[in-house]
């Protein structure tokens, strides 16, 4: 078992002269889960893309089972036994699960046509059964109807079906609930027992400790920790290796600074009997006070995002009312919410948050322009606002006229916060504040949110990360199947209680 499955030696890569990887070495053993960690831009994605032939290294050599290889694309890598599951899935949405898994499998084709769909589905069923997932995924289901977790499983099974010896998972748990993560990890463990090696690219420290045997950390393209055994590495040291500085209190001191600012008697936002048109959320009532950070926890699909979208008017509602400072807000109207100074940072940064091709300046000033009455653009005002926000949130920008896609995930997230802060919001809704954000920016974002709450802004946070919810919120609402099952004070909440109410508990 201790032979080397993949070995990369002295990998160097530069994009337009800027070095991304500098003499990095990496090894993966048979039956090992090896975590590749680092902040955004550390070079971990680049390294995994070099191993799978998406990029070519400038210098260095990759070996698979001792033989030097030079994959020119992922197809050659798959043939060589190395598969990658990226965040952007490479599945065909309108094809069924089994068709996707065996898309390139010659056994099921005759002269280029799919010959036997039943055999394909049967094979898929067997594969699913191998991992006790036959009830979780229907082989005939179209991929477009699957959840992210199911797609992830399909991607991995696809890799397994090509007899992959090594599978690279890029941020596999980014949008999975805890339960789904466990299922995924079980799959990984089973395959690992059969000798398959995994490289997991991730930011999530707690998960890495659960699943990974060894950890390699990159920072600024340099190898910082080379395959350290997970058990021998303290979390504190891991974070220090990733960030390059010590972060002691990621979430601030629990409960302490919260108490000073939270005005229990001043209700700002009140939601009454809210039900959305698709019934993803039903009869939800709650209220948020001035300076309170209210967190919504629960499994994926519990209706948390749908709830906040419904409050903001982005999803249509069937019934219910929303009051701001006692005044009812016009239903189903984003514009009414913006006028009343409610801000909403969406969950999916790429698809409904930023304007990728448009400049930083124009992105930051978009809400200000949309909320205002001015017909003409006030260049001076925009520049001043932009400058102020970049300084206030310490957004790292080379040039405010650069398109936003050039920024890192963390800075894009800060930019979205900045865009809404210019509105001078009374209520700020943040759906998944730190998804895909590196740990340094994460600490910054928590700090920003705490400061905003201190200023008296009521903040609603939706988060899938329990430590995050427990770390920054004053009140925690747990949701399950479209309803609130518990309202917990942060002092009385812990991971077990939240877990209980998000799965089986019937509270309130």
For residues 175 and 300, give the distance between their C-alpha atoms in angstroms, rounded to a whole number.
Answer: 8
Query: Binding other proteins by CB under 8 A: which of 370, 424, 455, 489?
Result: 370
Residue 59 CB, shortest distance to other proteins, in Å, is 17
From CA 223, how far away is CA 43, in angstroms rounded?
A: 10
Strands (E), 392-493: 427-431, 458-462, 475-480, 483-489
Binding mask 263-302 for other proteins (x = CB under 8 A): ----------------------------------------
DSSP 343-359: EEE-S-HHHHT--TTSB
CB of 368 to other proteins, least distance (A): 10
Tell me the closest approach of the beta carbon of residue 392 to other proteins, in angstroms: 12
- The DSSP symbol for 330 reads P
- As to burial, measured by CB atoms within 10 angstroms (0-12 exposed, 13-18 middle, 19+ buried), residue 235 is exposed
| SS3 annotation, 14-36 | EECCEEEEEEEEEEEECCCEEEE
Q: Does 354 bind other proteins (CB under 8 A)?
A: yes
Number of residues that bind other proteins (CB under 8 A): 42
Residue closer to other proteins (CB basis): 399 or 495:
399
Binder of other proteins out of 262, 312, 477, 501 (CB under 8 A): 312
The C-alpha angle 502, 299, 471, rounded to 5 degrees, equals 80
DSSP one-letter string for 270-282: EEEEEEETTSSS-
Does 362 help bind other proteins (rule: CB under 8 A)? yes
Distance, in Å, from the CA atom of 144 to the CA atom of 160, rounded to the nearest integer, reads 21
* 376 part of the interface to other proteins, by CB under 8 A: yes
- Of the candidates 470, 460, 457, 455, the residue with the CA atom closest to the CA atom of residue 430: 460
The DSSP call for residue 137 is: -
Please choose, out of 67-75, 278-286, 387-395, 499-507, the segment that lies near other proteins by the rule CB under 8 A. Answer: 387-395
Residue 310 in contact with other proteins, rule: CB under 8 A = no
Q: Is the CB of 114 or the CB of 377 nearer to other proteins?
A: 377
Categorise residue 332: left if φ over 0, alpha if ψ from -120 to 50, beta otherwise.
left
CB of 425 to other proteins, least distance (A): 12
Q: Using the rule CB under 8 A, is 344 a contact of other proteins?
A: yes
Q: For the window 403-422, what string marks contact with other proteins as x by the rule CB under 8 A?
A: ----------------x---
**59-64 and 33-37: which strand pairing?**
unpaired
501 interacts with other proteins by CB under 8 A: no
Which of 22-30, 46-54, 155-163, 330-338 is the region at the interface with other proteins (rule: CB under 8 A)? 330-338
Report the nearest approach of other proteins to the CB of residue 47 (Å).
18
Q: For residue 166, give the H/E element and its range.
A: strand 166-170
Q: Is 16 in the site for other proteins (CB under 8 A)?
A: yes
Neighbours of 229 (CB within 10 A): 10
Query: Are 30 and 195 a contacting pair, CB within 8 Å?
Result: yes
Give the CA angle between residues 87, 435, 439 to the nearest 5°: 110
Residue from 371, 381, 392, 499 touching other proteins (CB under 8 A): that is 371
Distance, in Å, from the CA atom of 470 to the CA atom of 254, rounded to the nearest integer, reads: 8
Query: For other proteins, which residue of 240, 369, 454, 500 counts as binding (CB under 8 A)?
Result: 369
Stretch that binds other proteins, among 164-172, 233-241, 287-295, 379-387 (CB under 8 A): 379-387
367 binds other proteins (CB under 8 A): yes
Q: Is 352 in the site for other proteins (CB under 8 A)?
A: yes
Q: What is the three-class DSSP state of 4?
A: strand
For residue 137, give the nearest of 157, 117, 119, 118 by alpha carbon. Answer: 157
Q: Which stretch binds other proteins (CB under 8 A): 40-48, 87-95, 213-221, 336-344?
A: 336-344
Checking 493-496 for CB contacts under 8 A at 24+ apart, the result is 494/470, 495/466, 495/470
From the list 3-11, 121-129, 261-269, 329-337, the region that binds other proteins by CB under 8 A is: 329-337
State the Cα–Cα distance between residues 485 and 292, nearest whole angstrom.
20
CB of 378 to other proteins, least distance (A): 10
Helix, strand, or coil (residue 309): helix
Rule CB under 8 A: is residue 316 a binding residue for other proteins? no
Q: Answer yes or no whether residue 364 interacts with other proteins by CB under 8 A.
A: no
For other proteins, the binding residue among 374, 492, 496, 506 (CB under 8 A) is 374
Q: By C-beta, is 273 or 348 nearer to other proteins? A: 348
Should residue 193 be labelled a site residue for other proteins when binding is judged by CB under 8 A? no
Span near other proteins by CB under 8 A; candidates 40-48, 60-68, 169-177, 337-345: 337-345
Give the interface segment with other proteins, choosing from 362-370, 457-465, 469-477, 478-486 (CB under 8 A). 362-370
73 or 182, CB closer to other proteins?
73
Of 34 and 414, which CB lies nearer to other proteins in the complex structure? 414
* Best CA proximity match to 84, nearest among 195, 4, 5, 201: 201
132 binds other proteins per the rule CB under 8 A = no
Among 255, 254, 261, which residue's Cα sits nearest to residue 291?
Answer: 261
> Residues of 123-134 as b/e, b for ≥16 C-beta within 10 angstroms?
bbbebbeebebe
Query: Judged by CB, which is closer to other proteins: 337, or 484?
Result: 337
Give the footprint of other proteins on this chain (CB under 8 A). 15-16, 312, 314, 334-335, 337-339, 344, 346, 351-358, 362, 366-367, 369-372, 374-377, 383-384, 386-387, 390-391, 397-401, 419
């Amino acid at each position: 078992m201790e032979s080397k499955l993949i070995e990369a030696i002295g990998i160097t890569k530069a994009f337009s002269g800027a070095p991304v990887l500098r003499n990095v070495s990496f090894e993966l053993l048979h039956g090992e889960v090896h975590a590749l960690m680092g902040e955004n831009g550390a070079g971990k994605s680049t390294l995994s893309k070099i191993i799978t032939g998406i990029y070519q290294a400038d210098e260095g050599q990759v070996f698979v089972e001792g033989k030097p290889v030079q994959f020119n694309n992922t197809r050659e890598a798959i043939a060589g036994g190395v598969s990658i599951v990226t965040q952007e899935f490479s599945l065909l949405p309108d094809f069924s699960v089994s068709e996707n898994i065996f898309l390139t499998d010659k056994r099921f084709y005759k002269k280029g046509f799919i010959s036997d769909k039943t055999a394909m589905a049967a094979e898929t069923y067997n594969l699913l059964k191998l991992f006790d997932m036959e009830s979780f995924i229907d082989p005939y289901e179209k991929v477009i109807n699957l959840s992210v977790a199911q797609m992830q499983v399909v991607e991995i099974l696809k890799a397994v079906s090509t007899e992959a010896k090594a599978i690279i998972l890029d941020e596999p748990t980014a949008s999975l609930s805890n339960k789904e993560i466990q299922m995924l990890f079980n799959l990984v463990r089973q395959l690992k027992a059969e000798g398959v090696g995994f490289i997991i690219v991730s930011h999530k420290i707690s998960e890495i400790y659960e699943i990974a045997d060894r950890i390699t950390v990159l920072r600024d393209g340099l190898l910082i920790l080379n395959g350290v055994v997970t058990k021998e590495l303290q979390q504190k040291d891991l974070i220090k290796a990733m960030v390059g500085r010590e972060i002691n209190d990621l979430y601030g001191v629990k409960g302490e600074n919260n108490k000073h600012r939270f005005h229990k008697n001043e209700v700002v936002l009140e939601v009454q009997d809210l039900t959305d048109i698709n019934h993803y959320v039903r009869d939800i009532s709650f209220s948020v006070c001035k300076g309170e950070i209210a967190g919504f926890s629960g499994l994926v699909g519990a209706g948390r995002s749908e709830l906040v979208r419904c409050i903001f008017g982005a999803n249509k509602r069937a019934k219910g009312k929303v009051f701001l400072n006692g005044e009812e807000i016009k239903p189903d109207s984003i514009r009414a919410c913006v006028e009343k100074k409610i801000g909403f940072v969406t969950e999916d940064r790429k698809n409904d948050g930023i304007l990728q091709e448009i400049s930083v300046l124009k992105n930051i000033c978009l809400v200000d322009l949309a909320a205002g009455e001015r017909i003409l653009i006030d260049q001076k005002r925009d520049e001043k606002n932009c400058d102020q926000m970049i300084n206030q949130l310490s957004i790292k920008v080379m040039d405010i006229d650069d398109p936003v896609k050039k920024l890192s995930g963390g800075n894009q997230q800060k930019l979205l916060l900045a865009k809404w802060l210019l509105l001078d919001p009374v209520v700020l809704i943040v759906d998944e504040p730190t998804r895909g954000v590196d740990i340094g920016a994460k600490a910054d974002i928590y700090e920003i949110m705490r400061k905003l709450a201190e200023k008296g802004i009521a903040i609603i946070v939706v988060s899938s990360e329990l430590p995050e919810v427990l770390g920054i919120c004053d009140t925690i609402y747990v949701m399950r199947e479209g309803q609130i099952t518990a309202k917990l004070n942060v002092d009385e909440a812990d991971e077990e209680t939240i877990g209980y109410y998000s799965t089986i508990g019937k509270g309130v």
